[in-house]
Structure 1
Amino acid sequence: MKTNIKTYLALALFLTAFAIPSSAQVRNRTKTTTTRTVVKKIPGRVSSKKVVYRTPTKKVVSVRTVPNRTVIKHNEQDYYYSNNKFYTSSRGRYIAIAPKIGFRIKSLPPNYHRVQFNNHIYFNVGGTFYRESNSYYEVVEPEIGTIVDDLPDGYEKVTIDGLTYYEYANTLYEKIQINGTRAYEVVGVIDME
C-alpha cells in the first residue's frame, strides 16, 4: 500500500510538473496595438503657386472642328460644348478645356452619376459637377467632403506641402477607403493666380 501511494504521488507530481509551466519557462505575451494619429491639414482653397504637378507641362490637343456643337456664352466670351466636352476657340482650332464655374447646359449626358452631399444633389459627369438651376444644369464647385467612386480621365497627381493629391478641373481629391472599397473625397479647390 505504501508503494502504491508513493507511485501515485510520484505520478501526480510528474503530471503536475508538465501541466503547470514554471515561471521561468512562461513568457507573457500581450498584444500591443499602436494607434497613430496623423494630423493632415485638409487643403481647402489653395493657391496655384503651391501646387506641384508631377508632369509640369500638359500637352495641349486641338481639333479643327467640333461637330454638333452648342455655343455657350460665359463672361461675354463664346465657348463650345459637344460630346460632354467643353472647348474654346484659338487661331481657327478648338481646344478642349475644363469647364468654368457657371457654364450651363440644357440637358445632362446619359452617363451622369447622381451624388448627394449635405442635402445637395450634384450630377457628376466625367469629373464635372452640375446642379440643377432654372431648367438648366450649371457647373459648380463640389463641396469639400463630397465623395466619388472614380476619378475622371485626365486627372493629374499633384503635391502640396509634401502631400499627394489628385487634381481635375482645379478640384483636389484624396484617395480614401469606404467599407474596404477605394473612393475619392473632395478636399480642396485650386485658386488660379
Structure 2
Amino acid sequence: MKTVIKTIILPAMFIVAMTTQVSAQTKRSNAKAKTVTTTTTKRTNAVAKKTSNKRISSTKVTYKKPTKKVTSVRSLPKKTVVKYKDQNYYYTNNRYYTQSRGRYIVIAPKVGFRINVLPTNYRSVRFNNRSYYNANGIFYIQINNQYEVVDPEVGTIVYKLPDDYEKVTIDGQTYYEYANILYEKVQIDGIRAYEVVGIIDME
C-alpha cells in the first residue's frame, strides 16, 4: 500500500499543486497586464482629447478687457515695407505695423505671411521634431530661403509672451492669448512657461 501511495498518489498530488500554482501566477500576470493596458489607454485618450480641440470658436472666448489696447505711432524710422495679399506691412524695431488714417498700428502678421530675414530677437523652439522660430509671439518655419508665419502645434512651449498679450476665459478657465494663439501657464522644471493649447477661429 505504501508503495502505491509513493508511486501514484504523491506524484498526482504534486502535479495538482503545480497546476494550481501556475494557474494562480497566470491570473496575477493577466491582471497586471490588464492594469497596464488600461493606464496606457487613459493616457492616450487624454492626449487625443487635448490635441483634438486645437481650433476653438471665437464665440466661446471671453476677453477680460472689453477693448484691446491699440499701440499706434505717427511715424516709423527706417521701416521696411513687406507686401502680403495686397496689404502693406511696415517692419521696424522687431514689430510689424499697418497704416490707418495717417497712423501706424502694431499688427501681428497672418498665417502664410513670408519674410526673407527673421526678426533679430527670435528664439528657436523645437516640438515634435519640428523647428519653429518665435519672435514677439509669432511662429515661423523655414521654407527654402524664406520664413513663413504658421500656427504652432498644441503642446509647444514658450517661456515668454509678448507684453501686449490678453487674458481670456473659456468655460470658466483662464488662458492667455496673443495673435489668436491660446496659452496655458505651466511649470517646466520649476520655471514658469506657457503651453500652446489651441488656436482661436475668428468668426
Superposition TM-score tier, normalisation by shorter sequence:
0.7 to 0.9
Please state how far the C-alpha of 1:163 moved relative to its aligned partner: 1.1
Q: Does 1:91 align with 2:101?
A: yes
Q: 1:85-164 alignment to 2 at 5 Å?
A: 85-164=95-174
- Extract unaligned runs of 5+ from structure 2: 1-45
RMSD over aligned Cα atoms: 1.7
- Structure 1 residues 62 and 110: CA distance shift in structure 2, 3 A: closer
Give the structure with the larger helix fraction.
Answer: 2
| Counterpart among 50, 65, 74 of residue 55 in structure 1 | 65
In 1: Cα distance, 2:184 partner to 2:166 partner: 12
Distance 2:121 2:85 in 1: 28
Aligned length: 155
Query: Per-residue CA shift, 1:109-129, capped at 9, x if unaligned?
Result: 332111011111001112111
Matches of 2:79 and 2:172 in 1, distance apart?
41
- Give the partner amino acid of 2:81: V
Q: Which runs of 4+ in 1 moved over 6 A?
A: none
TM score, norm. by length of structure 1: 0.75
Secondary structure, counterpart of 2:59 in structure 1: helix
Give the direction of change, closer, same or farther, for the CA distance of 1:76–1:192 in structure 2 (3 Å limit).
Answer: same
| TM-score normalized with structure 2 length | 0.71
Q: 1:79 and 2:118 equivalent?
A: no
Q: In 2, Cα distance between the equivalents of 1:146 and 1:185?
A: 6
Corresponding position of 2:19: none
